[in-house]
Structure 1
Amino acid sequence: MEFALFCTIVDILLLLLALCSPCKFIQSPMDFRPLSFLQSTNTSSLDFGRIKFNSPAAVLRPQSPKEISLLLSFLSASSFSKVTVAARGAGHSIHGQAQALDGVVIEMDSLPSNISIHKGTEFSPSYADVSGGALWIELLEEGLKFGLAPRSWTDYLYLSIGGTLSNGGISGQTFKYGPQISNVLQLDVVTGKGDQVACSPTENSELFYAVLGGLGQFGIITRARILLQDAPQKVKWVRAFYDDFNTFIDDQELLVAMPNVVDYVEGFMLLNEQSLQSSSLAFPSHLEFNREFYSKSSHNVYFCIEFAIHDYQAKSTNVEQVVTEISRKMSYIPSHFYSVEVSYFDFLNRVRGEEVHLRSRGLWEVPHPWLNMFVPKSGIKDFKDLLLNNISPSDFEGLVLMYPILRDKWDTNSSAVLPDAGEAGEEVVYTVGVLRSANPATCSAQCLNDILLCHRRVAQAASSPRIGAKQYLPHHLSQSHWQHHFGRRWDQFMARKAQFDPRHILGQGIILPGTKAPRP
């Protein structure tokens, strides 16, 4: 770290410590250690990806939004050299998006969660007011005490409210209810200028929509009002397997066209036996797969659809019959159709079991070179071929998610970016997640770098006009790539940046005019 920049940060902290007595919320400059120590022990330089380790000069653990406001107001108004600030929720970023090299990381989990549930009436919806640093699992647990829950989820619930709302928040419910950013009624935000602002679709709406899916570029979400609905008691969870890609996607699109009866749809590409077993960890039944799925001499690619139907235990609804009627319309491998009934909580928290299993094997806290893409329907077959041409199914470790979402469930006012609809006005967009793990015991540093280069090639080829894909949880290495990512919305993005964070204090790794590109 350059000595001048270090002194700048120390000066800022000393002033803030003097203004905010008692000084409980900013890490003392006396606690700083050499860079190597921070990289190995400081969680603020670490994320789930374990690919980048950008150490901050200081860490803020605020007890209230006012303390965040004070920091950003001071930095915005000061004549100091540019200092980058990043908000860190659960640290589930992949490419260091919540890190701040030589800057300040704000640890959002220190804010009191104070989850408040409001049960609706005939004329008003149910909702929850919750801190931006709280986790979705905490909101689920509190909401279920009132028989309520959010409508839209992520697959993994140990993520922060503010973190997923800054990106989108997607899962198998997205086709029906839209992403999490489409299920927000109100936000409290601290802008890059330090202003504390309450915003909604009707009040300070430009900031409201800018922050949702805004990659942390315009403000820090300190509180959100999340739309709730009645929670079911049980879930009927179904899995069907395929050996033909076209049939697989046709059946997925069949399911998402039935939102009145189907509540959740996701799909997987199964590249080998390991990915088959990994995808089955959360499914609580013995699947008894036939041996023809995988053998020593076979590296066939199979596909799996899982869908779910909420069971409110109403006497007028026979969930088994609904599943039977749906399955008759599908074209899966006849011998590979499985269903199980689980509690609503266990279904939503299904990935937790996979986490516990991987932790027990020492495979959770390893590098995760993930690639997440939104692919238009017209390009999904080409994308599948592109992916299989660039990876080796025989030694692939991880999962490949692939499932459809619907464009009209996304609010176009938000900052989130989907592929263009094209001349045909395509409604269906596919979510693809290449969720790889790099076990250090079998994958060296060069191996990890090769995976990252592979994903970069795939992402670049997929973003060409032939396929027209966009990255989700984007990561780009140049301003031109960011401009291409936002496309015709780049001017809107820059106008919002100038309005809410004119000093470019808020980070997330986006290369803007006048900023320095990060190291690859």
Structure 2
Amino acid sequence: MEVAMVSTRASLLILILSLCSPYKFIQSPMDFGPLNLLPTTTTASSDFGRILFHSPAAVLRPQSSGDISMLLSFLSGSSLSKVTVAARGAGHSIHGLAQALDGIVVEMRSLPAEMEFHRGGEGQVSYADVSGGVMWIELLEQSLKLGLAPRSWTDYLYLTVGGTLSNAGISGQTFKHGPQISNVLQLEVVTGRGEIVKCSPSKDADLFNAVLGGLGQFGIITRARILLQEAPQKVTWVRAFYDDFSIFTRDQELLVSIPDLVDYVEGFIVLNEQSLHSSSIAFPATVDFSPDFGTKNSPKIYYCIEFAVHDYQHKNTNVHHLSQGSRQMRHMVSQLYSVEVSYFDFLNRVRMEEMSLRSVGLWEVHHPWLNMFVPKAGVADFRDLLMDKISPDSFEGLILIYPLRDRWDTNTSVVIPDSGSTDRAMYVVGILRSANPDPEDGCSHHCLQELLLRHRRIADTAGARLGAKQYLGHHPTPSGWHQHFGQRWEQFAERKARFDPLRILGPGQGILPRTQDVAAAAYGS
């Protein structure tokens, strides 16, 4: 053990000296134990967005929190080093947010996939202690063996625990249980200083709150204690279609107002045949719906509510009371469909769509996505803004839209809209566009840049007019981030100065770039 530690320390020292050298004398892949210098074709230079490709100088494949601590301690203790570090989970960032140009990428999936479960007795909570590199699908598979499961999810489960907690982690359960960051009891974090800290709402609470939704700016989550609940046996999964946006949103708000009866609520805009069929891949019921989408100059838009009720096989299960809510819904006549599936299959529904897209080569393409939090009062205006900026007949992808209730801890780093009223309800709108780069009939580089510019205009306009905020945000300049955080900017900057004073972490975000002046100030020179 001692020999291995000495070897790792020596590898780190050699690595840092090589990265700081003006001669860059290491030009080819070299093995440094858990540290590897890799060629520019490494997967650490790409992500799910396939928009930016920033090659790191090295990749760390840690075997413990100590490996990460050792790396950050070396970097924070060296006045010569300009090296930055980004933590990479399963590689599903969009705009290079887990990349580190000429820096070091920490592959969190290399951490041992440790999971320890604690079943609480009567009046006590159940939880799981898991490595930050564990994927939610792995946690689900193991917890279900005990009849337990986390309460809050993302739609796609092949994401790491540390990755989603660094953002927020939202899905159709958020209206009921809050985002994933509201369902974590404790964290182990390696700060930008290299310190390993266990934190919680009652111990080192400022670090705990900073890291949750902190975009990887304050520390790297190496372990998390996730709140668990009893897992249902089955799920009644329902879809209802609409041709009126106001009725669609009214019924969504009706469903989220009865959290004792409904467990999941989402919705999406049906723009064309492609969006209708692609969004039905995972829905195992026959949908007898053949809408008239109008013409290119006069398109007809439809909407779909998707909701679910958990069946615990108890006498008073919510399924038996579902009709109380559904009777008040005003969907299109005969356009309500339901099916019963296992809890696992429901939560893993997006995987089926992934497999379908992979089979036709449409998964590993450009994903110029835009996700927004929109105040409830402005959601109709946002819908109009959106329809002005896209072509329904040619749109490829999915547009999600569903309401969230006020279950957000404002002490965390996540930024949500300020509604200016006591009703802090908001909508999530996800423009999940795919852009196939096929050279013959796909989206060229110019086409991709046009889509990104269009999304930037939507985000800027919605922010200025409606007070909307980006989720999984991307801003091209530090001033854009300053505006994004608004009144919370000073708190964010102060936390950064305290937990990562040299601005080593999260360079891909571009929030507080590392400069020569920062390093000089940190060392009093």
- Over 3 Å counting, the alpha-carbon distance change for 1:297 and 1:371 in structure 2 is closer
- Shift of the alpha carbon at 1:295? 7.8
Inter-partner Cα distance in structure 1 for 2:333 and 2:476: 46
Which deviates more from structure 2 when the two are superposed, residues 388-397 or residues 288-297? 288-297
CA distance in 2, matches of 1:218, 1:348: 31
Name the amino acid aligned to 2:363. W
Q: Which amino acid aligns with 2:426?
A: V
Structure 1 residues 181-260: aligned runs within 5 Å: 181-260=181-260
Q: Secondary structure at the match of 1:512?
A: coil
The answer to whether structure 1 residue 426 and structure 2 residue 428 are counterparts is: no
Alignment of 1:319-398 (within 5 A): 319=319, 321-398=320-397
Query: How many equivalent residue pairs?
Result: 491
Q: Which amino acid aligns with 1:24?
A: G
Give the deviation of 1:292 after TM superposition.
Answer: 3.6
Q: Distance in 1 between matches of 2:467 and 2:228?
A: 34
CA–CA distance in structure 2, aligned partners of residues 80 and 209 of structure 1: 31
Give the CA RMSD over aligned residues. 1.9
Amino acid of the structure 2 residue aligned with 1:160: T
- Higher mean C-alpha displacement, 283-292 vs 134-143: 283-292
Map 1:127-146 → 2, pairs under 5 A: 127-146=127-146
Residue 207 of structure 1 aligns with an amino acid whose one-letter code is L
Shift of 1:84: 1.0
Aligned residue number for residue 35 of structure 2? 26
The aligned counterpart of 1:19 is none
Preserved CA contact (<8 Å) 2:210 2:218 = yes
Change (3 A) 1:314 1:218: same
Structure 1 CA distance for aligned equivalents of residues 435 and 69 of structure 2: 39
Measured in 2, the distance between the counterparts of 1:477 and 1:486 equals 14
> Contact 2:503 / 2:513 at 8 angstroms: preserved in 1?
no
Measure, in 2, the Cα distance between the counterparts of 1:262 and 1:233.
15
Which of 412, 415, 432 is matched with 2:413 structurally?
Answer: 415
How far 1:286 sits from its partner (Å)?
1.1
Q: Distance in 1 between matches of 2:292 and 2:315?
A: 41
Counterpart CA distance in 2 for 1:502 and 1:290 is 58
> How far, CA to CA, are the matches of 1:380 and 1:71 in structure 2?
45
Cα deviation, residue 233, structure 1:
0.2
Distance 1:276 1:491 in 2: 44
Query: Aligned-pair distance for 1:425?
Result: 2.4
Residues 345 and 295 of structure 1: is their aligned pair in 2 closer, same or farther, counting only changes over 3 Å? farther
**Would you identify which runs of 4 or more consecutive aligned residues in structure 1 move more than 6 Å?**
294-298
8 Å CA contact 2:309–2:318 kept in 1: the answer is: no
Contact conserved, 2:20 with 2:82, CA < 8 A, in 1? no
Q: How far apart in 2 are the matches of 1:378 and 1:296?
A: 29
In structure 2, what is the Cα distance between the partners aligned to 1:514 and 1:81?
A: 11
User: Equivalents in 2 of 1:317, 1:151: separation in Å?
Assistant: 17
- Structure 1 residues 23, 56: closer, same or farther in 2, change over 3 A? closer
User: Which residue number corresponds to residue 520 of structure 2?
Assistant: none
Report SS of the residue matched to 2:466.
coil
Partner of 2:437: 440
C-alpha distance in 2 between matches for 1:201 and 1:93: 28
Counterpart Cα distance in 2 of 1:286 and 1:398: 21
SS in 2 for 1:265: strand
Q: Normalised by the size of structure 1, how large is the TM-score?
A: 0.91
Matches within 5 A, 1:477-488: 477-488=476-487
Alpha-carbon distance in 2 for matches of 1:515, 1:378: 41
Q: Do the aligned partners of residues 311 and 293 (structure 1) sit closer, same or farther apart at CA in structure 2, a change above 3 Å counting?
A: farther
Give, as a single letter, the amino acid of the residue that structure 1 aligns with 2:414. A
- 1:242, 1:302 within 8 Å by CA — same for their partners in 2? yes
Residue 495 of structure 1 is matched in structure 2 by 494
- Superposed displacement of residue 45, structure 1: 0.4
- Deviation of 1:444 after TM superposition, in Å, equals 1.2
Contact 2:16 2:81 in 1 (8 A): no
Identity rate, percent: 65
Q: Counterparts of 1:42-53 in structure 2 under 5 Å?
A: 42-53=42-53
In the alignment, the residues of structure 1 paired with residue 217 and residue 57 of structure 2 have an alpha-carbon distance, to the nearest angstrom, of 20
C-alpha distance after superposition, 1:249-301 (max 9, x if no partner) = 11111000000010000010111111111111110011111354668997311
Q: Which residue of 2 aligns with 1:162?
A: 162
Structure 2 residue ranges without an equivalent (≥5): 1-14, 25-30, 517-525
User: Which amino acid is 1:445 matched to?
Assistant: H
User: The residue matched to 2:189 in structure 1 has which SS?
Assistant: strand
Distance 1:123 1:364 in 2: 45
The residue matched to 2:125 in structure 1 has which SS?
coil
Name the amino acid aligned to 1:325: Q
Query: 1:251 and 1:126 mapped to 2: Cα distance?
Result: 34
Change in Cα spacing, 1:296 to 1:478, as seen in structure 2 (3 Å) is closer
Look up the match of 2:19.
9
CA distance in 1, matches of 2:178, 2:214: 17
CA distance in 1, matches of 2:324, 2:239: 15
Report deviation, 1:8.
4.1
What amino acid does structure 2 have at the position aligned with 1:77? Answer: G
C-alpha change, 1:334 and 1:9, in structure 2 (3 Å) is same
- Deviation per CA, 1:41-99: give whole Å up to 9, x if none: 31100100000000000000000000100000010010124211000000000000000
Which residue of the partner structure matches residue 281 of structure 1?
281
Distance 1:494 1:10 in 2: 27
Whole-Å separation in 1 of the counterparts to 2:86 and 2:208: 19
Q: Which amino acid aligns with 1:340?
A: V
Q: Taking structure 1 as reference, are residues 81 and 425 closer, same or farther at Cα in structure 2, changes over 3 Å only?
A: same
- The SS at the match of 1:459 is helix
C-alpha separation in 2, matches of 1:8 and 1:212: 34
Distance 1:318-1:211 versus aligned 2 partners, 3 A rule: closer
**Separation in structure 2 between the aligned mates of residue 402 and residue 123 of structure 1, nearest angstrom:** 36
SS of alignment partner, residue 463 of structure 1: helix
SS of the counterpart of 1:303?
A: strand
Instruction: Return the alpha-carbon distance in structure 2 between the equivalents of residues 449 and 6 of structure 1.
Output: 36
